[in-house]
Amino acid sequence: MTGRFSYSRWDGTQVGFELDADAVLSEITDDLLYHGDLNNALRRMMQSGFRDRNGERLEGIREMLEKLRRKRRDELERYDLGGVYDDIAQELREVVELERDALDEQLSQARQSGDQRREELAQQATEERHLQLDMLPPDLAGQVRDLQQYDFQSPEARQKFEELLDQLRQQLAQSYFNQMAGAMSNVDPAQMQRMKDMLSELNEMLAQRERGEEPDFEGFMQRYGDFFPENPQSLDELLEIMAQRMAAMQSMLNSMTPEQRAQLQGLAEQLLEDMDLRWQVDQLGEHLQQLFPQMGWDRKYDFSGQDPLGFAEAAMLMEQLGDIDQLENLLRGATNPGALAEVDIDKARDLLGDQSARSLERLAELAKMLEQAGLIENKEGRYELTPKGIRKIGQNALSDLFAKLAKDKMGKHELERSGVGHERSYESKPYEFGDPFNLDIHRTIRNAIQRTGGGTPVRLSPDDFEVERTETLVRSSTVLMLDLSLSMPMRDNFLAAKKVAMALHSLISSQFPRDFLGIVGFSEIARELKPEQLPEVSWDFVYGTNMQHGFLLSRRMLARQSGTKQIIMITDGEPTAHLLPDGEVFFNYPPVQATVDATLKEVARCTREGIRINTFMLDANGYLKAFVEKLTQLNRGRAFFTTPETLGDYVLVDFIEQKRALRGGRSRTA
């Protein structure tokens, strides 16, 4: 069965294609052409972000890094890492006050009983217990230790103290040991024993690996997988998770003042009292620090807020701050879109929000998208344009320049004369006696069906015949001379000139494939450029504009070609360098007569060989104007004084009009 599809008119509300390889390459075209480096262009696009074809903003890495820095700053300015001790101290004071109130109430009741002996005993006991409470140590761990040994007289105070101990044990265990066992929800003796067993087996697996043995990772996960909600798939993944947790715990200790750190360690020793567990944790920590030295074990944070943090909350915050640091380092070190594939998108979503996570996912796909489309390829860790990518860059440059042209300029290219020739015009006409019988089958059959109303067989008559129009084939050979001297980027002329070169190459190769286009770059010396080199060509960090050498190379290239020959030169400076008879380069600024004479001598050779030189000047200074006037007078070419904004208009429109004039049989004078 064949599927049926229905289509509706576009009304502006439907979501179209968001992002494709062509759109990505279009986004980096200008950057690539200006700097001549595909990898840096991709990196800069990642850094700055862009909008897709639906107008949706893809956040850049710089924006995400600023979000991470702001989030870290907000957390540090909100919380007080040591504030939890004030809460514990206050709760302990409330326990003591409840006990003192109960002691005073017992003494009051004894006095009211009228029993002298009872009153004396009560007085003595009350004074002793008040003294015990007065002598409690100033540190929290000491207060907890002494109150654990104290014989409470107040049931309410005893209950409150026991609840506080349970709460502290839970918080300490979760903050300290949840770094090793992320799924712990309660800390009862059985669970603590399982944790010790887990840590012991994990340390043993590390020892086995050091001995060259293969640890039983699958068996370990079957027994203790509930401790690891991240579901690691290998021992290496599990160890990295453990290292992240323990590094977060260490960063919390590092961030405390010495007094706060001593308080925490004292409370942990007092409440947990399990030396074997402590030994297992310390041993694992030593192993993990050796395996993952880059995990940030020395990291610390400066908290300046007022909101107190509980132990469990502090541990969670430290893990989050560690995630922020890790994501920040990864983003800062990403040199190409492929590196973003290492980002944990779920963590990025928690830290930065849905929009940033979506942007990261899409940025990570850019290079893969370009590779799958055949526009770039990875060679030894660096991306390079493929031939298809080079063609696409040229098409982008051509489309960009044509889009800027006024419609009336581009509407004047219809040929004045068509007829017998070799090149198809993709137009047709009714057959007339004497026409070549280049029958257009589709249009001929369509005419017959329209005449007869359909049905089979289709019978043709001479009135149905349509033949293809053709144009007279005219081959032209062009060399584009592109100024690569340092003045081009300094005067903001380089991008426009290079974009014209790419566009002209794309135009000739796609619309006039029989034509020849050569490219010569010139600065202190000249050199031939292959089309595949053009996207990554950059300016030369040298002074000197050696037009003479450029004309020499262009003339030699055109000597091997046929048809109408021309040189298109794009420059912003007068000739300041030329080759000496021994091949050495002579440079002088301002230009000297010897350089001008050597250049004009080469122009004369081009003129004798029928090569027309058209010059597009991007900086109409006096020296350049005077030289170009001599050049055009000698060669009978044409000169254009233009700007980077209009250069493409002049070059492309002039080339097309010249081409169509030649194909239409018209001649044009300088």
d(CA 42, CA 27): 9
253, 182: one domain: yes
Q: Do 481 and 621 lie in a common domain?
A: yes
Same domain as 611, residue 517: yes
pLDDT at 422: 43
Does any domain span residue 316?
Answer: no
Q: Which of 122, 139, 174 delimits the end of a domain?
A: 174
Q: Residue 80 is encoded by which pair of tokens? A: 């007080």
Instruction: Please choose, from the candidates 83, 99, 75, 214, the residue with its C-alpha nearest in 3D space to the C-alpha of residue 152.
Output: 99
Sign of the CA dihedral with 493 first, then 494, 496, and 500 last: positive
Scan for tokens 């862009």, then name that residue.
Answer: 50
Kindly state whether residues 98 and 153 are assigned to the same domain.
Answer: yes
Q: How far apart are CA 104 and CA 291, in angstroms?
A: 60
The total domain count for the chain is 5
CB-count exposure of residue 632 (10 Å: 0-12, 13-18, 19+): middle
Give the domain-ending residue among 436, 471, 506: 471
Residues 652, 559 share a domain:
yes
Quote the pLDDT of residue 552. Answer: 96
The CA radius of gyration of the chain, in Å to the nearest whole number, is 41
Instruction: Kindly state whether residues 534 and 621 are assigned to the same domain.
Output: yes
Domain final residue, candidates 174, 191, 214 = 174
For residue 5, is it within any domain?
A: no
Say if residues 466 and 429 touch (Cβ distance below 8 Å): yes
Statement to judge: residues 42 and 162 lie in one domain = no
The token duo for 516 is: 């020849």
Residues 643 and 543 in one domain: yes
Q: Which residues, in sequence order, are bridge partners of residue 395?
A: none
Burial class (CB in 10 A: 0-12, 13-18, 19+), 406: exposed
Query: Are 244 and 273 contained in the same domain?
Result: yes
Q: Is residue 556 part of a domain?
A: yes
Examine the domain organization and report whether 589 and 510 are in the same domain: yes
294 and 255 share a domain?
A: yes
Positions in the chain short of pLDDT 50: 1-2, 14-17, 178-185, 406-423, 472, 665-670
- The boundaries of the domain holding residue 274 are 178-300
Structural contact between residues 662 and 413, judged by C-beta atoms closer than 8 angstroms: no
At residue 442, the pLDDT reads: 84
Residue 632 placed within a domain: yes
At 586 the pLDDT is 95
Query: What confidence score (pLDDT) does residue 19 get?
Result: 67
Are 629 and 489 contained in the same domain?
Answer: yes
